[in-house]
Each structure stands twice: as structure tokens, then as C-alpha cells.
Amino acid sequence: MKKTTVAALVAGLFMAVPAAHADITIGFSGVLSGPQGVLGQDQRDGFMLAMEQLGNKFGDQKVNVVIEDDQLKPDVGGQIVQKFLERDKVDAIVGLGFSNVLMAELRRIKDSGVVAIATNAGPAPVAGKLCTPNLFGLAWQNDTMSEAMGQYVQDVGHKNAYLMTTSYQAGKDKLNGFKRYFKGDVVKEVYTPLGQLDFSAEISALQAASPEALFVFYTGGTGVNFVRQLRQAGVMGKIPVYSEGMIDSNTLVSLKTQADGNIYGATWAPVLDNPQSKKFVKSFEEKYGHTPSEYAANAYDAAYLLDTAVRKLNGDVSDRKAFVAAVKAAGSEFPSVRGKFAFNTNNMPIQNLYAFKAVAEGDEVIVKQIATVFTDHQDAYVSECNMK
């Protein structure tokens, strides 16, 4: 009788101890090589900085991060997602590359039900009819920062504008966003091939058209080349240049005073004044030796978003639907470098949008916030999404 009682007590003690949850595995994918590699590298660095600050844990759960380079190739991105799901057994995916890469990954992501957080791409179809419960656009919906520029150029009073971008999903979204708010005449829309670095012919055509304003979307090394060629051709300073994605902390290192006068739309810049942003900028500069871009900021946010969601679940992310719901709820609770933030019904951001200006000071250039164009801005496609 005594032995039975002791055995029962021991069994009861073991039952009272909560079961330990397995380590959490995160897959990070992005373009880490080639002319646009700096964008993915910044995302990786921002995410890993946040992980370091969080003790490489979400809540009390240890986190393992698997990092892959999609090479800006949709087929490679699709293979990486498949690897994450089948071999690495990830609990969430972060990054997801450019819009063309994300679109190639979308079917696998949706079918898996795994939490997926895009820290760069926000293509219009994913915000609208192809919205997916487990896919979150943490950075932006592609159109929105260009919408801010369209509104700003409208407010300035320009009567016409010349538009240029790369010919892929995001480029088309950007110009659509600009046109949605700019009510003046569009002199011409120019779409250049992905990876093009010589714009001499396009700049000659731009000069011949002599518009009141130029709006462009070029990123990374492509944007650097474009600005330099504009400056060499004498366009900068004659035609006001407005942009989105072209001016950031990375490109300013190369451009310096060549970027002087460019006004651009963004959700964040290092000059944004809030405690989490200041902490991020200081820590990033100390660790990596340069000022972070918005791409780094988005991925930094992703880690804190996931940490908040995992804490809601007490470390148990085994139920994918519950994890998705926790991420959605955490959108309005986690400490974002952008300050106020929330996910809309289509899992795209509700956030402020700003106009910033690159200003030369001696041999250097600084960024100044010149306007809050939109407050709590929603994307244009949310009504097309059937999620509630």
C-alpha cells in the first residue's frame, strides 16, 4: 500500500511539471548577393541584432535561425521555402525577398499555414484578392510610400510629373500608388529592365520632355547609378526629384552630396524620434559600424513582433493557427521602431508615412523629416481581401 502511494505521488509530481516546448526555428530568406544584396544583408543584420538583444530567445524559448540567399530569383526563393518547410521544419519564415520572389513563394506559404513575415515586399495582389491568413506584410504595402509622394508632389503644386521605375510587380505598384494621389498630368511612364545600370538613353528622353517633377523607384546599386547619372547629366537641381526606395542609409554612403535635394517617402528613417528607434539606431551603429536602413528596421521589428506573439502563447507555437492569431494580435502591441503600428484585416500595415529630404552639409549629407504626409494610413486594396 505504501509503495503504491509513493509511486502515485511521484507520478503526480511529474504530471505537475509543465512539458518543455521544443526550440523555435526561424527561416530567414532574402537577396544576400548581387547589386541588391545590401537590402537583404541589412534585413539579416537587423533581425540578428534584435535576436541578440532578446538573448536568442522568444519568451523563454531558444530560437535557431536558418539563413538563405534567394539571389533575387523566384525559382530559388520557392526552393528555399520548400526547404524551410520540409527539411528545416521552421515555425516561421522572415524576409521573403522582393515582390517577384514572394509571389513565387506564395502558394507554398499559404498551403503550409506557417507564419510568414515579409520584411520588404508588399505586392498589391497579396494585399487584395490573394491575401493569405498566415502571411503578414510587416514593412509596407508596395503602393503606400509612393502614395505619400504622390500626395506630397500634389501638395507642392506641380502640374505634371515624369515617372520611372524597374519593370516588375513592385515597380508597377509604386507608380500606381503615386498616380492614385497625384492629380496632375503624367508626362510619361518609363519601365526599365530589372538589373539595368546604364540610364543614359532614358535620361536624355527625360531631359527632352522637360517635366515639372520626376518621380522614380530604384533601389540599392541601381538607385545609386541612377542618381549619379542624373547628377552627371545636370538634371539634379533643375528638375525636382522625388523618389521611393532610392535614398536610404546605405545608398547615402555611396552618394553623399550627390543625393542633395532628393525628397523621398518612407515609413521610417534614423531621425524618427521614439525610444525603440533610438535604441535600434544606436545598437546597430555600434555593432555594424554604419547607420541602418529601413530594411534593417523592418527585420528588427519582425523579431520583436515574433517575441511578443510567442510570449502570448507561453512559448508553445505548435498550433499554427494559434501562432498566426497571436502574430496578428501582437501587431498592435510589440515595440516598433515606427512607433504606432497595427495590422489591417488584410495583414498589411496601418502606419504613418513621412517625407524626408537629403540635405548636403559640407562634404556630408543628412536626412531631415519635412512632413508627416499620412497618419494611420491604410493601403488601397484592403477592401478586395475577404479575410475579416
pLDDT tens for 350-371 read 999 999 999 999 999 999 999 9
Query: Does the pLDDT value for residue 302 go beyond 50?
Result: yes
pLDDT at residue number 11? 45
Picking from 278, 259, 226, 269, the residue whose alpha carbon sits closest to that of residue 359 is: 259
Q: Measure the CA–CA gap between 62 and 58, rounded to whole angstroms.
A: 7
Q: Say how many C-beta atoms besides its own lie within 10 A of residue 195's C-beta.
A: 12
Query: Does the pLDDT value for residue 9 go beyond 50?
Result: no
What Cα–Cα distance (Å) separates residue 93 from each residue in 88, 113, 142, 184, 267? 11, 11, 20, 41, 22
C-alpha cell at 187: 508626362
Q: Which residue spans of the chain are classified as CATH 3.40.50.2300?
A: 24-140+272-343, 144-266+352-383
Query: Does the pLDDT value for residue 163 go beyond 50?
Result: yes
pLDDT at residue number 221? 87
Q: Stretch 223-242: mean pLDDT, rounded?
A: 95
pLDDT at residue number 33? 94
Identify the weakest region by mean pLDDT among 7-11, 79-83, 86-90, 172-176. Answer: 7-11
Q: Stretch 8-24: mean pLDDT, rounded?
A: 55
Q: Stretch 20-39: mean pLDDT, rounded?
A: 90
Cα-to-chain-centroid distance, residue 69:
16
pLDDT tens for 74-108 read 999 999 999 999 999 999 999 999 999 999 999 99
CA terminus-to-terminus distance, the chain: 59
pLDDT at residue number 194? 87
Average pLDDT for the chain: 93
Picking from 81, 110, 134, 84, the residue whose alpha carbon sits closest to that of residue 323 is: 134
* 85, 26 Cβ separation under 8 angstroms: no
C-alpha cell at 204: 536624355
C-alpha cell at 70: 534567394
pLDDT at residue number 152? 98
pLDDT-derived band at 20 (thresholds 50, 70, 90) equals: low
pLDDT at residue number 168? 87
pLDDT tens for 243-276 read 998 998 889 999 999 999 999 999 999 999 999 9
Q: Measure the CA–CA gap between 67 and 107, rounded to whole angstroms.
A: 21
Does residue 4 or residue 41 have the better pLDDT? 41
pLDDT-derived band at 185 (thresholds 50, 70, 90) equals: very high
Query: Does the pLDDT value for residue 224 go beyond 90?
Result: yes
Q: Stretch 159-171: mean pLDDT, rounded?
A: 94
**What proportion of the chain, given as a percentage, has pLDDT over 70?**
95
Query: Does the pLDDT value for residue 2 go beyond 60?
Result: no
What pTM does this model have?
A: 0.89
pLDDT at residue number 325? 98
- What CATH topology corresponds to 24-140+272-343? Rossmann fold (3.40.50)
pLDDT tens for 130-160 read 999 999 999 999 999 999 999 999 999 999 9
Q: Stretch 42-57: mean pLDDT, rounded?
A: 98
- The residues facing 26 across adjacent strands are 65, 92
Picking from 36, 39, 220, the residue whose alpha carbon sits closest to that of residue 120 is: 39
Does residue 1 or residue 305 have the better pLDDT? 305
Q: Measure the CA–CA gap between 86 and 93, rounded to whole angstroms.
A: 13
Q: Measure the CA–CA gap between 122 and 263, rounded to whole angstroms.
A: 22
144-266+352-383 to CATH, choices 3.40.50.2300, 3.40.50.300, 3.30.420.40, 2.20.25.650: 3.40.50.2300
Picking from 61, 60, 80, the residue whose alpha carbon sits closest to that of residue 70 is: 80
Query: Does the pLDDT value for residue 7 go beyond 60?
Result: no
C-alpha cell at 377: 494610413
Query: Does the pLDDT value for residue 17 go beyond 90?
Result: no
Q: Stretch 163-191: mean pLDDT, rounded?
A: 95
pLDDT-derived band at 195 (thresholds 50, 70, 90) equals: confident
Q: What are the backbone dihedrals phi and psi of residue 48, each rounded to the nearest 5 degrees, phi first?
A: -70, -30
